[in-house]
């Protein structure tokens, strides 16, 4: 926490207006617009609900084809299943993010014209936006950016999450800033306004409760909006702290770990410091040694095309994400990680190669 959260929460309680919505939710939406340059923003109860609404407002429905990064977290793609659409998973390239080359292949092998692409900016690092946006434009595919992990990241000085027709951020407890749980959808005015409508049970503008369509209860409470406003004030500090954590790991461990790269014309937020060891299995030995000292670390995300829930799904894969998954580690990367603890982690890694 930044220290300001309780002050803003107090204002909410003083107003006796804790929900639904309220002034602090509006302020939170405005602060996201100011920081990212997004024209429209909708505060939600999670990033996952943002992705679900994105598919809904784009009219994705049963049998529609949705392309998606394979190397990501389940939440990026489970909304495809909510809408009974058909995913096609696409591998990453040396950037660890979606391969534009394989994206073109996926469009060719799709059983019908794909309607959307859910693109994840993994671990807060930018994808190849120039190439990916061009391919989406040429093929009339709606780009949805999953920037859940990437708030504070930029490509060509433009905020990640603001390139596509829609983008989402997450404020889950483990993210670069948090409201304990929450999300934000940004993008085209019409689409965001339609999502606002669906996020509050698709209520038609009548005094009585009238519904031509069904919606969801996906909005954020005013209390959590207050937390979000305070968190946005320290976002840039958090990015710099995360990047400083990464730089120390990189300085000390680059001969034993190959770290996730950063595209030249981008600034990622280094949400997690991640990298791969030379040999398969080293990561598990290191994770175990760290756990014995009560220090958490994790393997990289298991790609979606390997998940049992997606057995039989189409994918365009060249082995890159599988190789990363078999050798990769997420190191402790908290923005308040102290230097002594970080040195201890570095030593444990070195001792277990
Ligand atoms: C890549 C990715 N997409 C989506 C989500 C979903 O966000 P939330 O937990 O706010 O629903 C997360 C994080 O949880 C994530 O890491």
pLDDT tens track for 35-74: 999 999 999 999 999 999 999 999 999 999 999 999 999 9
- Report the distance separating Cα 169 and Cα 145, nearest Å: 9
By percentage, how much of the chain surpasses pLDDT 70?
100
Ranges assigned E (strand) in 8-79: 41-44, 65-69
Angle subtended by helix axes 5-15 and 222-232, to nearest 10 = 150
Distance 232 CA to ligand 1 centre (A): 18
Alpha carbon nearest to ligand 1 atom 7, residue: 47
Mean pLDDT (the chain) is 97
Mean pLDDT of all residues in 144-166: 98
Strand partners, 187: 166
Give the per-residue pLDDT at 19: 84
User: Do β-strands 298-299 and 328-331 pair in parallel, antiparallel, or remain unpaired?
Assistant: antiparallel
Distance 90 CA to ligand 1 centre (A): 19
* Angle, alpha carbons 132-133-139 (nearest 5°): 90
Identify the band that residue 20 occupies on the pLDDT scale cut at 50, 70 and 90.
Answer: confident
Phi, psi for residue 164 in degrees, rounded to 5: -85, 180
Distance 51 CA to ligand 1 centre (A): 9
Name all contacts of 1-9 with Cβ < 8 Å and 24+ positions apart: 1/227, 1/230, 1/231, 2/230, 2/231, 2/233, 2/234, 3/230, 4/230, 4/233, 5/226, 5/227, 5/230, 5/231, 7/230, 8/226, 8/227, 8/229, 8/230, 9/223, 9/226, 9/227
Mean pLDDT of all residues in 324-343: 97
Strand partners, 146: 120, 168
- Report the distance separating Cα 65 and Cα 111, nearest Å: 8
pLDDT tens column, 81-102: 999 999 999 999 999 999 999 9
Distance 148 CA to ligand 1 centre (A): 5
Residue 120 CB–ligand 1 contact under 6 Å: yes
State yes or no: pLDDT of 298 exceeds 90: yes
Residue 172 CB–ligand 1 contact under 6 Å: yes
User: Could you tell me if 182 and 155 are in contact, meaning their C-beta atoms sit under 8 angstroms apart?
Assistant: no
For CATH 3.40.640.10, the residue range(s) in the chain are 5-232
Whether residue 142 has a cis bond before it, omega within 30° of 0: no
User: Could you tell me if 50 and 75 are in contact, meaning their C-beta atoms sit under 8 angstroms apart?
Assistant: no
Residue 320 CB–ligand 1 contact under 6 Å: no
Identify the band that residue 283 occupies on the pLDDT scale cut at 50, 70 and 90.
Answer: very high
- Positive or negative, the CA dihedral 184, 79, 203, 221 is negative
Alpha carbon nearest to ligand 1 atom 15, residue: 148
Give the per-residue pLDDT at 75: 98
- Positive or negative, the CA dihedral 29, 31, 35, 37 is positive
Residue 45 CB–ligand 1 contact under 6 Å: no
User: Could you tell me if 331 and 252 are in contact, meaning their C-beta atoms sit under 8 angstroms apart?
Assistant: no
Give the per-residue pLDDT at 21: 86
CATH code for the structural domain at 5-232: 3.40.640.10
Identify the band that residue 313 occupies on the pLDDT scale cut at 50, 70 and 90.
Answer: very high
For CATH 3.90.1150.10, the residue range(s) in the chain are 235-351
Identify the band that residue 9 occupies on the pLDDT scale cut at 50, 70 and 90.
Answer: very high
Residue 99 CB–ligand 1 contact under 6 Å: no
- Report the distance separating Cα 257 and Cα 28, nearest Å: 38
User: Could you tell me if 61 and 261 are in contact, meaning their C-beta atoms sit under 8 angstroms apart?
Assistant: no
Task: Say how far residue 27 (Cα) sits from the centre of its chain.
Answer: 22
H/E stretch holding 238 reads helix 235-253
State yes or no: pLDDT of 130 exceeds 90: yes
State yes or no: pLDDT of 217 exceeds 90: yes
Alpha carbon nearest to ligand 1 atom 9, residue: 172
Alpha carbon nearest to ligand 1 atom 8, residue: 47
Instruction: Tell which CATH architecture fits domain 235-351.
Output: Alpha-Beta Complex (3.90)
Mean pLDDT of all residues in 251-267: 98
By percentage, how much of the chain surpasses pLDDT 90?
99
């Amino acid at each position: 926490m930044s220290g300001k959260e309780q002050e803003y929460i107090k204002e909410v309680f003083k107003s006796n207006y804790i929900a639904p919505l309220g002034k602090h939710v509006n302020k939170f939406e405005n602060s996201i617009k100011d920081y990212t340059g997004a024209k429209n923003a909708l505060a939600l109860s999670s990033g996952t609900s943002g992705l679900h609404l994105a598919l809904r407002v784009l009219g994705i429905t049963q049998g529609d084809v949705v392309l998606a990064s394979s190397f990501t977290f389940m939440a990026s793609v489970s909304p495809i299943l909510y809408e009974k659409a058909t995913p096609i998973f696409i591998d990453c390239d040396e950037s660890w993010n979606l391969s534009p080359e394989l994206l073109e292949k996926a469009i060719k092998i799709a059983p019908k014209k794909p309607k959307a692409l859910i693109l994840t900016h993994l671990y807060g690092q930018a994808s190849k936006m120039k190439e990916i946006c061009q391919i989406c434009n040429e093929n009339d595919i709606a780009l949805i950016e999953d920037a859940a992990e990437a708030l504070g990241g930029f490509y060509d000085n433009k905020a990640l999450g603001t390139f596509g027709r829609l983008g989402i951020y997450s404020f889950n407890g483990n993210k670069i800033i948090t409201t304990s749980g929450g999300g934000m959808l940004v993008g085209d005015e019409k689409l965001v306004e339609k999502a606002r409508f669906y996020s509050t049970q698709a209520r038609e503008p009548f005094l009585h409760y009238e519904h031509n369509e069904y919606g969801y209860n996906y909005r954020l409470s005013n209390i959590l909006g207050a937390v979000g406003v305070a968190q946005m004030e320290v976002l840039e500090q958090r990015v710099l702290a995360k990047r400083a954590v990464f730089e120390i790991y990189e300085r000390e461990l680059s001969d034993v770990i190959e770290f996730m790269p950063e595209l030249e014309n981008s600034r990622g937020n280094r949400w997690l410091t991640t990298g791969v060891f030379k040999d398969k299995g080293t990561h598990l030995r290191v994770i175990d040694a760290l756990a014995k000292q009560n220090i958490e670390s994790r393997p990289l995300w298991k790609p979606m095309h390997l998940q049992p829930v997606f057995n039989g799904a189409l994918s365009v894969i060249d082995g890159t994400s599988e190789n990363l998954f078999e050798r990769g580690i997420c190191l402790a990367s908290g923005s308040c990680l102290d230097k002594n603890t970080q040195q201890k982690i570095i030593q444990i890694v070195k001792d277990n190669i």
